[in-house]
Amino acid sequence: MSNLSETSSDLSRALAALQSAGEAEVCEDGERLAELTQFQYEVRQQGNATFLHLWSEERNLVRRVLRVAEDAAGRFVLDVQRFGKSKPGKLEFLAATGRPAARVSREKFRARFRRLLLTQFPDEQIETLTSAPDLEHSFSGSYTRGVTHRGQRAWAVLGVSSAEDASTIDAALTFGLLWLDWTRGHAGRRVVEGLRLILPEGSARVAAHWLHAIVPSANVELYELHEAAWRLRRVDPRDAGNLLTWLTPRREAEETRAAARGAVEQTMALAPGAIDAIVPPGTREVALRFRGLEFARWQGGRLHYGLCGDRRATKTKHRPTLEALVQEMERFRNPLAPDKNHPLYRAAAERWLESLALEDITRIDARLDAAHVYPQVPALSGSGPDSAGAGRGVMDLLGVTHEGRLAVIELKASEDIHLAMQGMDYWLRVRWHLQQGDFPRYGYFTGVELQPKPPLLYLVAPGFRFHPATDTLLRYILPEVECVRVGLNEDWRQGLKIVFRQ
């Protein structure tokens, strides 16, 4: 590559050409600074050295140019030297064309977020602010994270744009706590007071709900950002109210089962022991599942069958087709199936795991009462009555010990950073219904005298599939949430075995 360290005019022409081609961004060591159009620049020669001066209303930087590391269409990279730094860095100029829209949106949000922090917390300085993903530490690029400080007192900060989807916004507290933990561990002599969590206007309800189970030492300040006015509003979790959660009377589920009994029993007889039937919360329907994979549903007095939403009502002439479907699942969705990559084998892993747990919940813990275990009770609002919890990727079971203490059981077949926090979310909902006396009122746990003690929380996954961040997150959950981690055998499809319980 050509060396422009002594050719200031050539460097100027290269930058001018990139700028004139349209919007371009400036990044230093992977962190976006702003669009090139927002900067003014000057290239000057001092002796044998070339210096690049970039400045705007918010930034001013001078770098010594060591060499051109890359000069390609839409991408211009310089090796540069910062004053006072012995290690060279990289200054990149990238054409905006071809960049994913989500990345551009996040970078623009980060630039405005910096100005917001300076305006809303004028007595503090921004030490760092980035949206670069860091997989090693489980930091997502969907969020802007940083540190502000005033003297030796600092705050971890994490914000998310309204352009992100609802699940990303709802998960902000998870990543905020991980960022808080990292900053406290790398603070040196500084004291990191806590976490400032900044969410879009009208979206703090989930985080406020979760904060009821977070230790006070986390010291989370919750804000909503009104992006039109670019102003913050402090949110008091005590005033945010409870998330909607509801119970379907058990009587309704039993009536539905009774109405569907003939069609259900006839279908279950096609593969005894492999097919189970559940009433999805809030419906008058019965879902038939082959080792967790739904393949038929009784609704409106008729049985409809088929996979992936392609369902037809069963008639006498269709019976052989239904039988063939069950035979196909028996062949490929079998714990001993030779093809472990077949779609039927790999589909709905959590549901398969759930079906095994429902067969005998005492495999998870002998203290649990096998006569009383319910899937997805209470149901979660916002996900639809017939798919409550489905979008979370985690299966919820509610059980009880022989002593009458409720037990929340979260099941996950693969590594999931959200397992601990989603388990805590379900625990909060169950505790609320317990305190209201809802379970006996709605016909659950008949004959069991429920203890008023807070529920137990079981996090269940294959032994090597717990996300590394799980332990960190559990440290920020109140001791009142008594958590038991249950590690299963990796070949759990062949039968549940406990590898560890801690």
Q: How far does the chain reach from its first CA to its final CA, in angstroms? A: 57
User: In this structure, which long-range contacts are made by residues 387-393, counting pairs with CB atoms below 8 Å and at least 24 apart in sequence?
Assistant: 387/280, 388/280, 388/281, 388/282, 391/167, 392/418, 392/422, 393/350, 393/418
Give the C-alpha separation, 341 to 265, whole Å: 31
What's residue 309's pLDDT? 65
DSSP string covering 274-328: TEEEE--TT-S-EEEEETTEEEEEEETTEEEE-STT--EE--GGGHHHHHHHHHH
Contact 286, 298 (CB under 8 A): yes
DSSP bridge pairs for 233: 224
Please give the class, per CATH, of domain 101-239.
alpha beta
What's residue 109's pLDDT? 87
What's residue 180's pLDDT? 98
Residues (pLDDT < 70) of the chain are 1-7, 19, 21-23, 30, 34-38, 58, 96-101, 104, 240-243, 309-312, 314-318, 379-395
CB atoms within 10 A of CB 111: 20
Give the C-alpha separation, 295 to 103, whole Å: 39
DSSP string covering 189-203: TSEEEEEEEEEETT-
What's residue 36's pLDDT? 67
> Smallest Cα–Cα separation from 29: which of 70, 89, 103?
89
Q: Mind listing the pLDDT tens digit for each residue in 116-164?
A: 999 999 999 999 888 888 888 899 989 999 999 999 999 999 999 999 9
Interior CA angle at 75 toward 74 and 76, to 5°?
130
Give the C-alpha separation, 122 to 129, whole Å: 16
Q: The tokens of 384 are what?
A: 């639809």
Domain ranges of the chain: 8-95, 101-239, 246-338, 348-501
Tell the burial category of 284 from Cβ atoms under 10 Å away from its Cβ (0-12, 13-18, 19+): middle
What's residue 383's pLDDT? 39
What's residue 498's pLDDT? 96
Tell the burial category of 241 from Cβ atoms under 10 Å away from its Cβ (0-12, 13-18, 19+): exposed
CATH architecture of 246-338: 2-Layer Sandwich (3.30)
CATH for the 8-95 domain, from 1.10.8, 2.115.10, 2.70.180, 2.30.30: 2.70.180
What's residue 382's pLDDT? 42
| Ramachandran quadrant class, 473 (left: phi over 0; alpha: psi -120 to 50; beta: rest) | alpha
What's residue 99's pLDDT? 59
CA 89 to chain centre: 33
DSSP string covering 143-158: SEEEEEEETTEEEEEE
- Name the helix (H) or strand (E) containing 66: strand 60-72
What's residue 97's pLDDT? 63
What b-and-e string marks burial along 22-54, b requiring 16 or more CB atoms within 10 Å of the CB?
A: eebbbbbeeebbbbbebbebebeeeeeebbbeb
- Close Cβ partners of 223 (under 8 Å, ≥ 6 residues apart): 196, 197, 198, 199, 204, 232, 233, 234, 235
Interior CA angle at 410 toward 409 and 414, to 5°?
145
